[in-house]
Each structure stands twice: as C-alpha cells, then as structure tokens.
C-alpha cells in the first residue's frame, strides 16, 4: 500500500514522456535527471534535463544476459531474465540512510533455473543532488552464474552522430555510424582497457560509466542503426555508476574520470596532461 501511495504522489508530477516497453514504468528523478525503469525487463531511459537529451538502453537486445562457459570453452549466452508481477515486484525508497539517494529495487520472482535456483536483485540508485545513477546487481546463490552481461551503457543511434569513448591503449573513439561490429575489451589487460571507465557523447549530452572492481569486460555492438555498450561482470555483487555531463565531449569525460581517479587514489600527478595535449574534436 505504501508503495502504491508513493507512486501516486510522485509519478503525476513528472511531465516528461518516457520510453517503456510495458504498462507500468517507474520514474525516479532529481533536478538533473529523470529515470524511467521498465519493471518487467530491467531496461531504462534517462532524460538529461540540462542537456535536454534522452538516453535509452537497447530494447532490441536483453538488458541482462547470463553467460556460462561451454564444453569447448566458448561463452554460452542464455535468455534474458524477467521480473514477475512487474507492477509490484519492486521496492521504492525515497531516500537512503544518509538522505542522498532514491532507489528502485527489482527482484526476480521465486527461484530461477537460469540462476541455479537463486534469484537476482537489480538496484537503480539515483543521487538526489548529482547527475549520477548507480546500477547494482546481487545474485543470491553460490552456484549462480559467474558472468552477467548488463547494459550499463546507453545507446546511440546513427542519426544522432555521436560516439563512444573507450580507454583502449592510447584511447579510442568509436562513431555511431559505420558497419556492424562486435568487440570486447578486458579491463587492465595489455590489449584491453587501461582505465576502469568508458563513455559516450551525442549532441547536447555525454556520460561517463565508472566500474567498481577489476573483474570486468566491456562489450561494444553496432548493429543496424544502433551502437550499444555493455559490461560483463564477474562476481555475485557488482555495480557501476553513470555520471551525465550536459553538452559534454570526450575531453569532459576525461576530466570527470580524473576526479574519480583522484578519489580512488589512482591519479599520479607526476604524469600530468593538460588540455593543450588533447586535440579538439573535429567540427
């Protein structure tokens, strides 16, 4: 009853019309972001209020894939998870203990064969003051999958003329236009990602995704007119944080990650770059 009352109080005050693939999306917002969550599939969209840009996950592919190792060593991807009773199987919390977040929790109904008899909780945690959304996943069984592929990144369509930012070797920029492709990058691997982040830019907005531990792999897909990026997590409790940057470019993404690196003790001031070392993005 309390959940339904909260939804009655908060949902009508949101004027933006959001993407959703079922009849009961849940919306959480602050002054910078409005997040709409499809409680059946886990897909979500984010409206950057300052940049006036809508970002979406790719609903043409599963939001979560369970990955297992096959007999030949190949990775086997199972079907996506669904959340039973989509209008009811979530917990809405207006604020956390420190009063700085709003969250929605989705839980798979009952035990799941795909999760080896366990279930999965998916948390969407929105910072009340900052343009940050954290996705957190918990798998409740020791025998559950070790790898989950989750759409932590948001999609760019070809006509939006955007690009992905990937810290592969010296850094890579992947345009949203181009032939179909599928590529993966291990974190902190010689031929993979040198830093624990990736990002994306399109007209009016950019975002940075920061990863919480070393056991990640980033997968990029460009198919049809969409370019999407996801994270393959290892472990039973994992999270990533998306920070949105209005009117940002790949330079702003780098600056934002520098703040994260300083907070985590990863920044070495003896090896310092300034803006004059970074070439401007072609107009």
CA distance 66 to 277: 41
What pLDDT, on a 0 to 100 scale, did the predictor assign at position 199?
93
CA distances 239 to 187, 231, 233, 235, 279, Å, are: 15, 10, 9, 10, 32
* Alpha-carbon distances of 4 from 14, 43, 260, rounded to whole Å: 16, 21, 37
Q: Tell which residue, 192, 209, 187, 195, has the closest CA to residue 253.
A: 209
Q: Which helix (H) or strand (E) holds 66?
A: strand 64-69
Query: How confident is the model at residue 170, as a pLDDT?
Result: 74
pLDDT string in tens for the chain (283-residue length): 333 333 333 333 332 223 334 456 788 888 999 999 888 788 899 999 999 999 999 988 888 887 765 544 455 555 556 665 444 444 555 555 566 788 888 877 555 566 666 678 888 999 888 899 999 888 776 665 567 788 888 999 988 989 999 888 777 888 888 889 888 888 766 666 778 889 999 988 999 999 876 667 888 999 888 998 888 887 777 888 999 999 999 999 999 998 988 887 777 676 665 555 455 554 3
Q: At 140, give phi and psi (nearest 5°).
A: -100, 35
Burial of 273 (0-12, 13-18, 19+ CB in 10 A): exposed
How many other CB atoms sit within 10 Å of the CB of residue 70? 8
Write out the DSSP string of 144-167: S-SEEEE--S-BEEGGG--EEEE-
User: What gap in Å lies between CA 45 and CA 21, rounded to an integer?
Assistant: 11
């Amino acid at each position: 009853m309390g959940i339904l009352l909260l939804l009655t109080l908060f949902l009508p005050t949101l004027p933006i019309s959001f993407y959703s693939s079922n009849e009961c999306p849940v919306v959480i917002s602050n002054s910078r972001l409005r997040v709409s969550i499809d409680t059946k599939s886990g897909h979500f969209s984010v409206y950057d209020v300052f940049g006036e840009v809508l970002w979406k996950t790719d609903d043409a592919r599963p939001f979560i894939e369970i990955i297992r190792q096959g007999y030949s060593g190949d990775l086997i991807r199972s079907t996506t998870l669904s959340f039973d009773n989509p209008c009811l199987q979530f917990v809405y919390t207006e604020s956390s203990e420190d009063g700085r977040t709003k969250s929605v929790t989705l839980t798979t109904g009952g035990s799941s064969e795909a999760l080896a008899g366990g279930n999965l909780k998916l948390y969407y945690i929105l910072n009340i003051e900052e343009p940050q959304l954290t996705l957190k996943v918990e798998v409740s069984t020791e025998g559950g999958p070790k790898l989950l592929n989750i759409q932590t990144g948001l999609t760019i369509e070809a006509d939006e003329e955007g690009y992905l930012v990937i810290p592969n070797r010296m850094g890579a920029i992947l345009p949203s236009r181009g032939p179909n492709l599928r590529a993966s990058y291990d974190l902190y691997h010689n031929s993979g990602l040198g830093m624990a982040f990736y990002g994306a830019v399109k007209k009016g907005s950019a975002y940075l995704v920061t990863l919480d531990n070393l056991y990640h792999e980033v997968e990029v897909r460009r198919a049809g007119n969409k370019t999407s990026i996801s994270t393959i997590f290892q472990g039973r409790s994992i999270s990533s944080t998306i920070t949105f940057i209005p009117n940002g470019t790949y330079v702003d993404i780098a600056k934002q990650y520098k703040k994260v690196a300083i907070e985590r003790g990863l920044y070495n001031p003896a090896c310092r770059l300034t803006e004059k070392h970074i070439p401007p993005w072609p107009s």
